[in-house]
Structure 1
Amino acid sequence: MTADDSYGRLDDDDFPAYTTGRAADMLGTTQGFLRAIGEARLITPLRSAGGHRRYSRYQLRIAARARELVDRGTPIEAACRIVILEDQLEEAQRINTEHRPTTGPAEPTAAA
């Protein structure tokens, strides 16, 4: 990938643009916290060619939500599970909305 290719992907929420140190700074947390939520399988950072963890903006949003819960006293494992379930619910609602008919009767009609 060239520098031009990388620059074009910076708007991509899934592009792993942030190192562990930078991600921790942005979230106001420690690198250990990021490793812990990785071990809990909340997020799986991609690895650079040198083996260093890289995080996307989407992963940072997920990590930030987990941090909010942990800061409120939720154990890290529970916080990770809550965030996973919230993410799954959001995805299911999105899919449901996409498949919901936009026209038609509000209630099914009963055959007389």
Structure 2
Amino acid sequence: MSPEPRDIDDKFDDEDYPAYSMGRAAEMLGTTPGFLRSLDRTEVIAPLRSSGGHRRYSRYQLRIASRVRELVDSGTPLDAACRIIILEDQLKEAQRLNAEMRADHET
């Protein structure tokens, strides 16, 4: 039984859908699979695993990996770059929640 066309479109639009293999992700980022494995070890990203145990990355995770690489390439140690990314993500989420609470309060 093949998936409905709409199901496929939903997956392409889903930022969190694990669509990219490690090799493809590394190629897209211009890095090595080892760099991606190091991000998994630091737990800044946690790729899903295929039924065969292979890492699969989402577009969201690739954006995080790209930002880490940018920081590392500019001389930031990997562990510090990962911490910066986590803090940036937490700040963004706090700002989103704050905006929601303000909007709710104004209505």
Query: What's the TM-score once normalised by structure 2's chain length?
Result: 0.89
Instruction: Output the amino acid matched with 2:47.
Output: P
Q: Which protein has the larger Cα radius of gyration, Structure 1 or Structure 2?
A: 1
The residue number in structure 2 matching 1:33 is: 35
CA RMSD of aligned residues (A): 1.9
Q: Which runs of 5+ in 1 are unaligned?
A: 105-112
SS in 2 for 1:91: helix
Equivalent of 1:72, from 71, 74, 83?
74
The size of the alignment, in residue pairs, is: 104
Identity of matched residues, %: 64
SS in 1 for 2:18: coil
The residue number in structure 2 matching 1:107 is: none
In terms of fraction of residues, the more helix-rich structure is 2
Instruction: Output the amino acid matched with 1:47.
Output: R
Q: Structure 2 matches for 1:1-112, cutoff 5 A?
A: 2-4=2-4, 5-101=7-103, 103=106
Query: What's the TM-score once normalised by structure 1's chain length?
Result: 0.85
Q: Which runs of 5+ in 2 are unaligned?
A: none
C-alpha separation in 2, matches of 1:50 and 1:73: 36
